[in-house]
Amino acid sequence: MMFASRRPAETEPQRMGALAKLPVFLDLAGKRVVVAAGSAAAAWKAELLAAAGADVVVYAVDPGDEMVRLVSRGAASGTVRLEPRPWSCDVLAGAALAIADAGSEAEAEAFACAARSAGVPVNVIDKPAHCQFQFGSIVNRSPVVVAISTDGAAPILGQAIRRRIETLLPPALAQWARLAKQMRSTVGRRLAPGAQRRAFWERLADRAFGPPPSLETASDLDALVKDIAACEVRPGHVTIVGAGPGDAELLTLKAVRALQAADVILFDDLVSEDVLDLARREAKRMMVGKRGGRASCAQGDINDLMARLARQGKHVVRLKSGDPMIFGRAGEEIERLASEGIACTVVPGITSASAMAAALGVSLTHRDHARSVRFITGHSSTGALPDDLDWHGLADPQTTLIVYMGGRTAARMAYNLLRHGASAGTPVVAMSSISRPQSARWSSTLAELARGGIPDAMANPVLIGIGSALRPRDAVSTSGRAVERAGDLVSRAAAC
């Protein structure tokens, strides 16, 4: 069976979605900021502004204890000075920012109007109608600063996100960032723009999530600069990356790092947009999709393109759905690269069989049901069922059988299994779009599969699981069960 071919095609990254607010990081070092109020909330804002290097002037007739303590002890950076009088319009002239904690709506409106008339960005605490900017939750690894905003919709959610990020970013990241800042002039002076500089910063970034820099780190980095500068041309290389079944959260950390370091990404049709969104924005993206029964890129064209880009000195990421080493034709690509002396590494991914087992809540090797798992392909190079399969072994009741790309040949495959001794009541599960919102599942028996194949309602490609290990946990007969979609399940849960 012959299918139409297509050429690899460059694609654009998804455009930036709508932003509730534009995140902007202001340089406030040495700049005057007006704070009108002496409350605890105003004291927190004053301390935050001073930490950013601002010279904060607080106007308050009767400041609270927290504000008094802040003024007396000083700030880590910048200054906080108290003027024991009410604010007036003249104090706003030339200020970088204006913040107030107003006791009434009228006072808030008066302060906001005065600030806008003076051309000063204004924030009135807890009164969003009078705010031209907002403060977010902050993760401080200065000079690395992460800010989170929920546009005022859910401040507690912002704080929860901050706590999660705090656990991901080691405190030593601040030391690495300061060291990186010190190295910028050296790198700019001694390394060529483009590949050389990126090679240095990628190496430093990899180390930044490890132990803190030591006394020898600066000299190590200096030696790294010399080594990179001595390389006239950076050799290209290819990283074959498993994108998993579709859910971006199932990517490995190593896969994410590869996507962030890529110059070019050659990706398959089945790779989700959520996964591609994790890639470096500047990376060129090229669709090299291969789909059964549809127009596909020839494997030879993909091999040629991959090798050509690598010979140009590019870091090429070959992004494949699932695990590239399971029916992903990675072996052919590795052989081609090796024949041309091009370096290649492989980052494994979660194969669809593992994602299916997780979604079903079953073990493919449950000791009461299976002694082995066998992965097979449901179609040969001609598109038909392979004619050299070990049907007797596949029909073993102690084996869980996982069939990739078997949607069109499922009925014939089930018939052959029955002929070689498999039980007619053997459970069968077919799933598509595993781990994605549009995931669909069909459960039945081997006899039913032999009679009617996979229902048309199931989108291709499908993954088929056969074996007693896949028997539903409630032990209710599943023969002829309709296709269940994730949306239907959610609707039923909501109705309950």
Asked if residue 207 belongs to a domain, the reply is yes
- Has residue 145 been placed in a domain? no
| 376 and 489 both lie in a single domain | yes
Domain co-membership, 65 together with 94: yes
Three-state secondary-structure class, residue 406: coil
In a domain, 403, yes or no: yes
Same domain? For 257 and 226 the reply is no
**How far is it, in rounded angstroms, from Cα 33 to Cα 188?**
35
pTM given for the model = 0.67
**Residue finishing a domain among 303, 327, 350:** 350
- Regarding whether 490 and 357 lie in a shared domain, the answer is yes
List the end-to-end C-alpha distance of the chain, in Å, as a whole number: 48
350, 369, 401 - which closes a domain: 350
Token pair 């030591």: residue: 214
Whole-angstrom distance, CA of residue 431 vs CA of residue 461: 9
Structurally, the chain folds into a number of domains equal to 4
Count of residues in the chain: 496
Tokens of 270: 């089945």
Judgement on whether residues 182 and 284 belong to the same structural domain of the protein: no
DSSP 295-355: -EE-HHHHHHHHHHHHHTT-EEEEEESB-TTTTS-HHHHHHHHHHTT-EEEEE----HHHH
Q: Give the pLDDT score at 269.
A: 86
Judge if 382 and 261 occupy the same domain: no
Tell me: do 429 and 364 sit in the same domain.
yes
Please tell me which residue in 55, 101, 247, 290 is annotated as part of the active site: 290
**Residue 463, domain member (yes or no):** yes
Is 314 a known active-site residue?
Answer: no
Whether 315 is covered by a domain: the verdict is yes
Q: What is the CATH number of the domain that holds 126?
A: 3.40.50.720
Low-confidence ranges of the chain (pLDDT < 70): 1-6, 9, 13-15, 232-234, 290-296, 472-496
DSSP three-state, residue 227: helix
Residues 125 and 187 in one domain: no
Same domain, yes or no: 459 and 340: no
Whole-angstrom CA distances from 76 to 60, 130, 144 are 22, 29, 17
Residues 248 and 327 in one domain: yes
Query: One-letter amino acid identity for 56?
Result: V
pLDDT given for residue 332 in this prediction? 93
Residues 410, 423 contacting (CB under 8 angstroms): no
Classify residue 290: in a domain, yes or no: yes
Q: What is the CATH number of the domain that holds 206?
A: 1.10.8
What's 268's domain CATH number? 3.40.1010.10
Contact 431, 479 (CB under 8 A): no
Residue 245 and residue 272 in contact, taking contact as beta carbons nearer than 8 Å:
no
Contact 390, 399 (CB under 8 A): no
253 CB burial (10 A radius; 0-12, 13-18, 19+): exposed
The kind and range of the H/E element at 223 are helix 217-230
pLDDT tens-digit map of 109-166: 999 999 999 999 999 999 989 999 999 889 999 999 999 998 878 888 989 999 999 9
Domain holding 385: CATH number? 3.30.950.10
The answer to whether residue 31 is catalytic is no
pLDDT of residue 233: 54
Residue 464 domain-assigned (yes or no): yes
Statement to judge: residues 445 and 388 lie in one domain: yes
Same domain membership, residue 377 and residue 280: no
Catalytic pick from 55, 268, 323, 396? Answer: 268
Containing structural domain, residue 193: 173-230
Q: Which of 230, 246, 261 is the last residue of a domain?
A: 230
pLDDT of residue 473: 58
> Residue 467: inside a domain, yes or no?
yes
